[in-house]
Structure 1
């Protein structure tokens, strides 16, 4: 990807990865991603803000060569290697450059990339670094999403280089957001899968940014925001305690019994004015489950019994929900069994991180009968009552 100018002597020099479809061997990214890196050239000094994934080092170095720069500093906002992995190659080309980061990040970089101690310049929260006519301010943003993360603010140009904060896995040739709807969904999914467990920390970090004048937010993945309020308002909504009148039902059904229960519950809730998202785990990307968890106050987990426990798909979805710590208020379990088991106990035992109230489960033997449907109706009525109390 060719370099692009953001403002005078400020350039985007990173790379777009059009073909990547899996991140951290875990997260599906159907729209690809980018590794955003930025060059800030002052009258006295020049700084590179973050690098790129090692697979794209050649694109970064080509852009730097085209700009004919002499690097004095490499600012590292985050030690994860999609940001820092090109540092060793950069230091080979620019051996006099110093690595500028915080103390926690420094220790991780020394471990991950074997960078010697003498290469580092350690900065504190809100400390500044002058490039002559441009000033970089470092803002600690811990647990977004690692303990050492920080952002870099270019004061004169009012650009916040936010690293993973506000990012999206969305490959595009446009430097700024042009399709707000598409980027909103990508950014929300990015938040759901990566940031949601740290919702309280993100609230604190957003508070740190409220008095800073920002004209451009430049994250490390996805397009940049020249309308910062677009993504700032979205994050404020996602991290708030507010929820929608919605129930998500992640489920798997082997022989139709559990599916019939899900269909009956969904119909009963829809009839009572509640939005429902049944998520068939046999065909649904687990990232879509994470996305649905951002806004929902209620999750009903539905599973058949496999041997003595829940279906493995349900185990994975339950583990994910527990790990992501969404703002769920209520949880229930429905499902079926043949000759016995501990499916319910195992599912509820996996939800220790969540502070949600457990509503009366409905676990049946065999195919659901009339009395079973009545129990599901009772559960639907209870969910409606709980949602009414949230308004």
Structure 2
């Protein structure tokens, strides 16, 4: 299964499968713990296969998990904490964000999310691994203090896996209450924390291979894993319990009472979605991290989001390896330079990266504020494209990186420059001027004049896709011709289809495409399928749960509409300018000149090599011109639409 496409919302293999599997508490009442499943027996894969220990060898903890009362946030969002044992002398405090429907780079969530932190009670010292989102301030701090009081403990160490606010948002509260606690993290992490919490705290920078002994065999070893969605990421491995703390890596946005991956099937689409959106753009860094931990006998992965991995560790780690290798085999790659923790640089750069990867091109992301010049030159040499987000104009390290980039960039490299909307952006025009002087004409320059809306994110995703397509256009055409047997291509072309315009909208983002690969797929309920190319702009608006409109073109009267929607639109362009349309109930455009239309809701999607086959239920429909027939599309060969 391809790992190069990042959907804007998670794909589910069957409608409603995950919703049925999660126990959601009633608002205002404490939830009852779900029954704990028995441990599953799995075959031991051995040290020769990534040295990943068999997860089934770990006995499920005997004590039930403990859940807090529900608190409401912003009036209608349920928050709750769950505490359960993970391993010997180790518990997790999971902050359950039941109703969160958007996360990080403005992608929708179907099942909420969690923020996982951990307490390790060594014989001599106690460590907290990561904190929580600031919205959980009251709940998390009460729960933390209750668990410490039960053990008669204080906090001696805080291990900060990275400084993204959903994991470090309460570090300030922790160090203010426990001023003797030593915060451990990478050098970059501690520098970020200084700018984040603005209070003095004890700190200890750690490097890969460093260890801290909590007593009782709990020796914590650190593994540096930078650029796994954040430049300062590190893993922590406990030699006493074989638990590896990985923060964002190996996570998923899935809020459930079950603390572990007891049932894999409902988790799978969310796990892949999470990888595609957050880890896929950093596939090279994922592979590097996997090599670093291959000799550690980890049995449990204590991640930062979603259920912990206990029962399916070899399988799920193997998928990261497989997906990352698939991305590494892409015909081209793009270096994406952003400024960490500045304006919207992180989110917008991730969105650009998604647009790039959905078109089959790899990305390599790096923080321009923390890059070594030699590292930048090496990265530039192995990428055929470059994305540069504007850094802050008062950061000397950014100026040095820009000068290095301008001196090393090659005229054949394709470049996109974009504003970060941070308030102190390096002027975009000066970057463009510098690139032109270096012999490089930017393919696109993206300007952000207001806080990014969904339309701005659509602009950035489409810009990424355009950049990727420009890099691999010749290769794509050659592959299509080489892959098809001429006789088979002519025979397949005899399968004819109608002509349609598919339209979709979500808030202020709208898109459309011409479609002919459309077929009825079911009677009850009435349903149809549409094949959507992975690099189509509209693909991000046709995820499971989304609505769209299928507009039927009339025989002999479709030329004007067809010509309009077949043109290549620049990123962010209004595809409906000059077109008469009315919004359907979902907001998707109904074209006035269509002879009929159907409003549809996506139920499931099946992935093929270069398309998503989307199955949708037809919920509404109307024939505007009963005497007209749908136009038929015929081809000579099947190597084009």
Q: Normalization by structure 1: what TM-score?
A: 0.68
Q: Let me know the Cα RMSD of the aligned residues.
A: 3.7
Distance in 1 between the 2:571 and 2:107 partners? 21
Q: CA deviation at 1:16?
A: 0.9
Match for 2:215 among 104, 118, 132? 132
Report the counterpart of residue 234 of structure 1 in structure 2.
Answer: 319
Report the counterpart of residue 106 of structure 1 in structure 2.
Answer: 190
Q: CA deviation at 1:43?
A: 1.2
Match for 2:258 among 174, 180, 183? 174
Q: CA deviation at 1:375?
A: 6.5
Unaligned runs of 5+ in 1: 265-274, 289-301, 316-367, 381-391
Match for 1:284 among 542, 562, 576? 542
Q: CA deviation at 1:210?
A: 1.1
Distance in 2 between the 1:37 and 1:56 partners? 12
Distance in 2 between the 1:34 and 1:64 partners? 16
Distance in 1 between the 2:566 and 2:164 partners? 38
Report the counterpart of residue 319 of structure 1 in structure 2.
Answer: none
Unaligned runs of 5+ in 2: 1-80, 330-357, 361-461, 463-499, 505-511, 520-529, 547-561, 576-629
Distance in 2 between the 1:287 and 1:80 partners? 29
What do the CA deviations read for 1:183-238 (whole angstroms, capped 9, x no partner)? 12111100111111111111111111111101100100000111311211221221
Report the counterpart of residue 206 of structure 1 in structure 2.
Answer: 290
Q: CA deviation at 1:252?
A: 6.8
What do the CA deviations read for 1:325-369 (whole angstroms, capped 9, x no partner)? xxxxxxxxxxxxxxxxxxxxxxxxxxxxxxxxxxxxxxxxxxx98
Question: Please, which moves more after superposition, 275-284 or 171-180?
Answer: 275-284
Q: CA deviation at 1:285?
A: 3.9
Distance in 1 between the 2:115 and 2:280 partners? 21
Q: Assess if the C-alpha contact under 8 Å between 1:31 and 1:169 holds in 2.
A: yes
Q: CA deviation at 1:19?
A: 1.1
Report the counterpart of residue 390 of structure 2 in structure 1.
Answer: none
Determine whether 1:309 maps to 2:564.
Answer: no
Q: Assess if the C-alpha contact under 8 Å between 1:177 and 1:226 holds in 2.
A: yes
Distance in 2 between the 1:241 and 1:74 partners? 36
Report the counterpart of residue 357 of structure 1 in structure 2.
Answer: none
Distance in 2 between the 1:110 and 1:161 partners? 23
Report the counterpart of residue 155 of structure 1 in structure 2.
Answer: 239
Change (3 A) 1:101 1:248: closer
Q: Assess if the C-alpha contact under 8 Å between 2:518 and 2:531 holds in 1.
A: no
Q: Assess if the C-alpha contact under 8 Å between 1:74 and 1:99 holds in 2.
A: yes
Q: CA deviation at 1:115?
A: 4.0
Distance in 2 between the 1:303 and 1:80 partners? 46
Distance in 2 between the 1:96 and 1:29 partners? 38
Q: CA deviation at 1:127?
A: 0.4
Distance in 2 between the 1:282 and 1:105 partners? 33
Change (3 A) 1:162 1:375: farther
Distance in 2 between the 1:2 and 1:260 partners? 47
Q: Assess if the C-alpha contact under 8 Å between 2:82 and 2:96 holds in 1.
A: no
Distance in 2 between the 1:80 and 1:287 partners? 29
Distance in 2 between the 1:188 and 1:132 partners? 37
SS of 1:170 mapped into structure 2? coil
Report the counterpart of residue 57 of structure 1 in structure 2.
Answer: 137
Match for 1:123 among 206, 213, 218? 206
Distance in 2 between the 1:209 and 1:167 partners? 17
SS of 1:190 mapped into structure 2? helix
Q: CA deviation at 1:18?
A: 0.5
Distance in 2 between the 1:22 and 1:303 partners? 36
Distance in 1 between the 2:174 and 2:249 partners? 24
Q: Assess if the C-alpha contact under 8 Å between 2:514 and 2:566 holds in 1.
A: no
Distance in 2 between the 1:156 and 1:114 partners? 35
Q: Report the number of matched residues.
A: 302
Change (3 A) 1:281 1:130: same
Change (3 A) 1:277 1:46: same
Q: CA deviation at 1:5?
A: 1.1
What do the CA deviations read for 1:71-128 (whole angstroms, capped 9, x no partner)? 0111100110000000111122212111111101111111122243x52111111100
Q: CA deviation at 1:53?
A: 0.5
Report the counterpart of residue 164 of structure 2 in structure 1.
Answer: 80
Determine whether 1:24 maps to 2:104.
Answer: yes
Distance in 1 between the 2:571 and 2:501 partners? 7
Distance in 2 between the 1:156 and 1:141 partners? 22
Change (3 A) 1:162 1:287: farther
Change (3 A) 1:84 1:258: closer
Q: Assess if the C-alpha contact under 8 Å between 1:127 and 1:138 holds in 2.
A: yes
Q: CA deviation at 1:175?
A: 1.1
SS of 1:13 mapped into structure 2? strand
Distance in 2 between the 1:231 and 1:260 partners? 36
Distance in 2 between the 1:202 and 1:176 partners? 22
Change (3 A) 1:182 1:59: same
